[in-house]
Structure 1
Amino acid sequence: MPAKKKYLTKSPFERFFKITAGFIGGYFVMISFHHLFSYFFEPKYVVITAAFTGYILWAVLLLLAFLAERAWKIWLVYALLTLIFSLPILLKL
């Protein structure tokens, strides 16, 4: 049974930006999130944990990108999350 047309993205640019937000933006959020944990825990344990939880988090962020109404909104959310998680790196704390 095909999907209803009203739920499909009509613009190819919107679809492209949702796909890139899911893959690239979700990956950046996932990496910065696990890097933030390396400031609180032993980095070798974070790397081992990230090997498993990283794929799960990345998959969830990829799916959330397609649930967003507009692609620019999800890009903005992912950029802000990456910035927040990267603050210790940027501020050299």
Structure 2
Amino acid sequence: MPANPKYLTKSKWQRFAKITAAILGGYFVSVTFHLALASWFSRADILITMAFSGFILWVALMVVAFLAKNGWKIWLIYLFLSLVFSLLIYLGQTYNPSAQ
């Protein structure tokens, strides 16, 4: 059963933004989230768990990207989340060196 055309994105730029945000942006958020956890908690346990939970989070973020109306807003949200998690990674490595 084909999709109803009224629900499909007509703009090629919006389609490009959604696809790249889903694949790349979701991956960046998933990896930085798990690395932020690893910088504050037991690194080995988090990185082993990341093999499964990272994939689940990545797929969930892909779905969110395609449900959004505007692909560029999703890119901004994903970049903001990646920067926040990167800041947490930096702070975790600076103030909690025992987790390494």
Aligned counterparts of 1:2 and 1:49: Cα–Cα separation in 2: 38
Aligned counterparts of 2:46 and 2:74: Cα–Cα separation in 1: 26
Hey, what does 1:6 align to over in structure 2? Answer: 6
1:88 positional shift: 3.0
Hey, what does 2:66 align to over in structure 1? Answer: 66
Amino acid of the structure 1 residue aligned with 2:80: L
Give 3-state SS (helix, strand or coil) of 2:65's partner. helix
Aligned counterparts of 1:67 and 1:53: Cα–Cα separation in 2: 21
Structure 1 gaps, min length 5:
none
Structure 2 gaps, min length 5:
95-100
Amino acid of the structure 2 residue aligned with 1:61: L
Alignment of 1:48-87 (within 5 A): 48-87=48-87
Normalised TM-score (structure 2): 0.86
Q: Which has the higher helix share?
A: 2
Aligned counterparts of 2:89 and 2:37: Cα–Cα separation in 1: 12
Aligned counterparts of 1:57 and 1:89: Cα–Cα separation in 2: 18
The number of residues matched between the two structures is: 93
Hey, what does 1:42 align to over in structure 2? Answer: 42
Root-mean-square deviation (Å): 1.3
Aligned counterparts of 2:42 and 2:49: Cα–Cα separation in 1: 11
% identical aligned pairs: 53
Normalised TM-score (structure 1): 0.92
Hey, what does 1:30 align to over in structure 2? Answer: 30
CA contact (8 A) 2:65 2:74 kept: yes
Aligned counterparts of 1:41 and 1:4: Cα–Cα separation in 2: 46
1:90 positional shift: 4.4
